[in-house]
Structure 1
C-alpha cells in the first residue's frame, strides 16, 4: 500500500517539478524565481491533484481493489475480500486528503468517483468527502449529498466486516451532517433532513421527508 501511494504521488508530482525546473532555468534572479514559484503554486497543486486522482482510480481498477458487495466476514482472518476492501479504502482516503479539499462538489470529484467505481447519474452533487466504498454507491440523476454527510457501503460490527450497496433514487437529497448506514435505498425525491441518522437497510419512500436520530417520516 505504501509502495503504491509513493509511486502514484511521484508520478503525479514529477511533471510539476520538471515544468518548474524548465521555467526556472530561464529566470535569472532569485527574486524572480520566488515570485514565479508563488504565482505558480496553485496551478501546480491543481495539476498534481487531478493527476493523483486519475492515477489512483486507474491503479485500483487495474489491481482489482474494490469493496465486494454482501460481505459478512471476520476482520481478523485477513481474507482477500477484506484485504482488498482495506487497500481500496486507504487509496480513497489518501486521495481525499491531498485532492479532496480543492475538488469536492465539483465535476472533477464526480469524475474521480465514477472512475473509482461509483454509479452517478446526471447532475449529481456531492459536497462531502466522507463517502467511502465508491463502487457500492449508486446515485440516480439529481441526487444531492450535503456537506459532511457520512455514507459508505461498509460497517464493522463485533469484529465482522459487513457490506451492502447504497442506492439513492432520482432527486434524493441528504441533508448536512447526516449519516447513512449500509444497504439504504430511497425512492425518487426522498429527502433526509440535516444531522439525521438513517439506519442500515432502511428504505426511504418516494417524495417523503425524514428527520431525526434515527430518522422518522415527517410526511
Structure 2
C-alpha cells in the first residue's frame, strides 16, 4: 500500500472507531433514563398520571444522563489515549495517528458540550469534567463558555474567569498544518466576553483581557495588565 492508501485506511478506522465509541458512551448515559421509563410504564396508574410523572421526571433524568455522558466520555478518552499532542506541527492530510487522536478527542468534547454544556457550564460540575478530561483547573475557576477545546493543553490557576463565548484553544490550523501549544492563565486572569486566546498564550496574575479582544498566539501578558483590542495592546 502507498502512503496515501495507509493514510486513508487510518482515517477510515478513526472515523469508525469514534462513531462506535460515541455510540457506546451515549447508550450508557441514556440507559438509566430508558430503564426508568420502562419501569414507570409498569406502574398501576392511569395513562394521564403516568404521562404527568414522566414529564416531571424529564429534568432530573436529563441532568443524570448529562452527568453520565461527561463521566463516560472523559474516562473513555483517557483510556484510549485520545488527546491533543503538545507542541507539534503536523500536516492534516497525512492522517497520522497524533492528528487522528486529536480529531477523535475534539469530537468527544463536541458531543459533551452540545448535550451537557448548556446545563452545566459555569458550574463546578463543568470544571470537574474539564479536569477529568485532561485540563488543569484550579479553585474558584468560572468557565462560562463552551468554546474551549484541547482540554489537556489548558491550565487555569485559581480564580480564572472565562467570559461567555470566549474561545480558548490549544490548536490552530494554518495552511493545512495542525499547530499546538498549551495555554496557561495565572491566578485571577479574566478573559472577557467573546474574546479569542491563541495557542501558547501565557498570562501573569491579575490580568484582564477586554471583551471581543484577540490575544495572538504565544503572547506573554504581564501580571496586572489590562489588555484590549485586535490584537490586544496593554492599556496600563
Shift of residue 23, structure 1, vs aligned partner: 2.5
Residue of structure 2 aligned with 1:110, choices 124, 127, 134: 127
Alignment of 1:59-138 (within 5 A): 59-138=76-155
Q: Any idea what the Cα deviations from partners look like across 1:155-177, whole Å, max 9, x if unmatched?
A: 00010000000000011000000
* Alignment RMSD: 0.7
Q: Quick one: distance in 2 between partners of 1:172 and 1:14?
A: 40
Distance in 1 (alpha carbons) for counterparts of 2:181 and 2:60: 39
Determine the structure 2 residue equivalent to 1:206.
223
CA distance in 1, matches of 2:87, 2:38: 50
Task: Quote the residue 2:159 is aligned against.
Answer: 142
After TM superposition, the runs of 4+ consecutive aligned structure 1 residues lying more than 6 A away are none
Deviation per CA, 1:65-123, whole angstroms, max 9, x where unpaired?
00010010100001111001000000000100011000000011000000000000111
Q: Tell me the secondary structure at the aligned position of residue 162 of structure 1.
A: strand
SS of the equivalent of 2:119 reads helix
SS in 1 for 2:57: helix
Name the structure 2 match of 1:184: 201
Cα displacement string for residues 28-50 of structure 1 (whole angstroms, at most 9, x for unaligned residues): 21101110111000111000000
Distance in 1 (alpha carbons) for counterparts of 2:31 and 2:90: 40
How many residue pairs get aligned? The number is 219
In 1, distance between residues paired with 2:28 and 2:149?
24
> Structure 1 length as normaliser, TM-score?
0.99
Quote how far apart the aligned CAs of 1:20 are.
Answer: 2.1
The unaligned stretches of length 5 or more in structure 2 are 1-17
Q: In the alignment, is residue 168 of structure 1 matched against residue 185 of structure 2?
A: yes
Moved more, 22-31 or 117-126: 22-31
Structure-1 separation of matches of 2:53 and 2:204: 52
TM score, norm. by length of structure 2: 0.92
Q: Which residue of 2 aligns with 1:28?
A: 45
Shift of 1:19: 1.7
Point out where structure 1 has 5 or more consecutive residues left out of the alignment: none
Match of 2:234 in 1: 217
* Residues 1:14 and 2:14 are matched in the alignment: no
Rounded to whole Å, the distance in 1 between the matches of 2:232 and 2:179 is 22
